[in-house]
A and B are shown apart, each in its own frame.
Chain A
Amino acid sequence: MPRESMELKPTFETLSILDEEGHLDRDLEPDLDDEELEELYRCMVRARRFDELLLEWQRSGRIGTFAPVTGQEASQVGAISATGPGDWFVPSFREIAAFLWRGGDPVDMTVFNAGWNEGVRIADDAHDLPIAVPVASQVPHATGLAYAAKLRETGNVVMTFFGDGATSEGDFHEAMNFAGTFELPVVFVCQNNHWAISVPREEQTASETLAQKALAYGMPGIQVDGNDVLAVRVAADEAVTRARSGDGPTMLECVTYRLLLHTTADDPSRYRDEEEVERWESRDPIPRFRDYLVEKGVMDEGRDEVIAEEVEASLEDVWSDAEERIEGLGGPEVMFDHVYAEMPPELTRQRERFSGIEAETAEPDEQPEAEDDEQPEAEDDDG
């Protein structure tokens, strides 16, 4: 056998439309109407503000650990805005901005972050999955949803989100390969935010880019400036169109940055330089997009402040609404709900016993009495 070189079909592209100073590449500018452009901006601002509030509530002990989105708003909003309501949204655990775009209620997310399962309940008519914490574990689900969409000819596509670290997991590779093999209508959105907790992107994989991993699975991969909402939107529109027209999956690598922490349990000062963070702060996706909108005449000077006020108003009651919801939630026996369609007899028995015990111990006022009652009895028995 002779030794020859074989050329691979080059489908790998990079894309940037709006640079760090907000300068536009007019040839690539997408044709979006003013209203939608403002909605993209509003959602990014709202996600950023909600993140700040969640962080405040976490620091004051009102909610538990969560993964902030700050810095990644353009990647999420740019991509998810290419989907329609019938399409599927398959998140990992940092998709606060995409969740809000899909119409997710910040009160639900707050209830969830305060430790209550009820907060993850998805609206009956939404094609959204709950957040998935184990890294990359949701990616095969997107592939399966897409298989079903194709088989059932629903015309819907699937978009799943994950991070740079997820591309090291077997689940990612298996799901990508599966989707490529069956030409499924799915868009894989990788948010390369440069850090998987403490491990930087370049130590996560020796690949020069993450987008190129798509090529091995026979699908187009594109690396976009993930802090440029227009670039992300254009790439996502193309990928969604490709999926919807039966031409198979696409992988987007959105190059962005996690400006805050992995989760609120994390301390980035242990492993990354503040200078790097500052460099990325200057590439913040929100002011860049605002400058573009003002330049384009979509927003007047001062319009951003009006939007900020409206966003504030839309979030000002979130905590009190969440508190009210939480007060109305069931007791600990709720943990027995939704394990099976029909509760098996043994589980029913466990719940009854559990509720009995809860009733005894949940009312501290009655405890001294109970102890007085029980002590002599027990002594009698013992004797």
Chain B
Amino acid sequence: MAEMTMVEALNHALHHEMDQDASVVVLGEDVGEDGGVFRVTDGLIDEFGEQRVVDTPLAEAAIVGASLGMALNGLRPVCEIQFSGFSYYAMHQIENHVARFRWRSRGRFHAPMVIRMPYGAGVRALEHHSESKEVFFTHIPGLKLVAPSGPRAARALLLSAIRDPDPVIFFEPKLLYRKFREDVEEEEETWPLGEARVVREGDDLTVVAWGAMLPRTREAADVLAEEEGAEAEVIDLVSLAPLDHEPVAESVRRTGRAVVVHEAHRSFGPGSEIVARIMEDSFYHLEAPIHRVTAPDVTVPFFARENAYLPTKERIVDAFRSVLET
């Protein structure tokens, strides 16, 4: 067992998978000599050479489009978009081709590829470096999207994503890259894609979160227990596409109350889908309106105001109280 940060855990997964599968290639901007701007790909070029670890020109559309070509011709590309805010350059490739190649070739071809990208605010970054636009991808049929909330999850999910036969958007919460260390098993561990996890049990309230919002949501649940004596069940959604709704439904039917926390904008955010599904299948079990704690429908402000933009622990606790008081 080794204590790792999320960056180290992701790096470990890439080393492991490139070592055991010669078809895995890594490409992106500054992923080689520099080891990635967050060092996620550190050391790969030394171990596997520049044929398999490719410092590309600045060309996101080509990074993603060429990855698809590689995937169609026997490779398993893991490409990096340096920040999710730059993935939009590649959106036509993602929507028009990557997501639907299996569909548009009637199963003749498929796209076993991973598009990694750091997302989210809270690291004092420049404009366009702090967005959380999961829904841009989850709205596209044919894509999977996972967002780890800790080092162990990051390693286990990246291994699964690389081995998956379908394209996976791998959303890395950059706020958590070096925030804390966690034991990561020496032995290989994979988590199935599309499976949520209950990370804190409780009977008074169901809370859904993922990625960077998960740790503060757990802290908020602890505050609630301490100050109100109420126990929140916290579900780490892990995978937004496919969305594993069953654990949420099971929990809500037990607690009768739900809160969804995300750093994406409020309107048409991931929470809207989660809440809609609860309304569809668990409405009669609800004892209070469902609350969402989200970022507002405004562009992420420059960093002096970004912590006010993000759901804070205090705002999450407030939402818990409101739902319990109803």
Please list the residues of chain A having a beta carbon within 8 angstroms of any beta carbon in chain B: 64-65, 93, 112, 114-117, 119, 133-136, 165-166, 168-171, 196-199, 203-205, 263, 265-266, 270-271, 326, 332, 334-336, 339, 346-347, 350-351, 354, 357-358, 360-361, 371, 374-375, 377-379, 381-382
The contact string, 1 if C-beta is below 8 Å from chain A, for chain B 20-58, is 000000000110111101000000000000000001011
Task: List, in ascending order, chain A residues with CB within 8 A of B302's CB.
Answer: 112, 115-117, 119
Question: Which residue in A93, A198, A382 is a CB contact (below 8 Å) of B204?
Answer: A382
| Those of B263-298 within 8 Å (CB) of chain A | 266-267, 296-298
Task: List, in ascending order, chain B residues with CB within 8 A of A133's CB.
Answer: 126-129
Question: Which residue in A115, A171, A382 is a CB contact (below 8 Å) of B89?
Answer: A171
Task: List, in ascending order, chain A residues with CB within 8 A of B58's CB.
Answer: 135-136, 165-166, 168-169, 196, 199, 204
Asked whether B298 lies within 8 Å of A347 as measured between CB atoms, the reply is: yes
Asked whether A169 lies within 8 Å of B59 as measured between CB atoms, the reply is: yes
User: When chains A and B are docked, how far (Å) is the Cα of A326 from the Cα of B218?
Assistant: 34
**Is B187 an interface residue when CB atoms closer than 8 A count as contact?**
no
Given A134-B86, A134-B128, A204-B57, CB of A347 within 8 Å of CB of B296: yes
Closest 9 CB pairs of A and B: A115-B304, A332-B308, A198-B34, A168-B57, A115-B303, A335-B301, A165-B58, A271-B33, A168-B58
Q: Secondary structure at chain A's binding surface: helix, strand, loop or mixed? A: helix
User: When chains A and B are docked, how far (Å) is the Cα of A381 from the Cα of B204?
Assistant: 12
Asked whether B303 lies within 8 Å of A205 as measured between CB atoms, the reply is: no
Q: A196-B29, A350-B297, A371-B227 are in contact. List 4 more A-B contacts (CB 8 A).
A: A114-B304, A115-B302, A204-B57, A336-B298
Asked whether B228 lies within 8 Å of A379 as measured between CB atoms, the reply is: yes
The closest CB in chain A to the CB of B31 belongs to: A198
Task: List, in ascending order, chain A residues with CB within 8 A of B229's CB.
Answer: 379, 382
User: When chains A and B are docked, how far (Å) is the Cα of A271 from the Cα of B32?
Assistant: 10
User: When chains A and B are docked, how far (Å) is the Cα of A342 from the Cα of B204?
Assistant: 41
The contact string, 1 if C-beta is below 8 Å from chain A, for chain B 299-313, is 101111110110010
User: When chains A and B are docked, how far (Å) is the Cα of A66 from the Cα of B302?
Assistant: 13
Asked whether B126 lies within 8 Å of A65 as measured between CB atoms, the reply is: yes
Task: List, in ascending order, chain A residues with CB within 8 A of B318's CB.
Answer: 357, 360
The closest CB in chain A to the CB of B312 belongs to: A361
Task: List, in ascending order, chain A residues with CB within 8 A of B228's CB.
Answer: 375, 378-379, 382
Most buried by B among A136, A205, A357, A378: A378
Q: What's the least CB distance linking A154 to chain B, in Å?
A: 29
**Is B16 an interface residue when CB atoms closer than 8 A count as contact?**
no
The closest CB in chain A to the CB of B55 belongs to: A199
Q: What's the least CB distance linking A62 to chain B, in Å?
A: 11
Task: List, in ascending order, chain B residues with CB within 8 A of A199's CB.
Answer: 29-30, 33, 55, 57-58
Asked whether B325 lies within 8 Å of A377 as measured between CB atoms, the reply is: yes
Asked whether B308 lies within 8 Å of A270 as measured between CB atoms, the reply is: no
Asked whether A271 lies within 8 Å of B34 as measured between CB atoms, the reply is: yes
**Is B97 an interface residue when CB atoms closer than 8 A count as contact?**
no
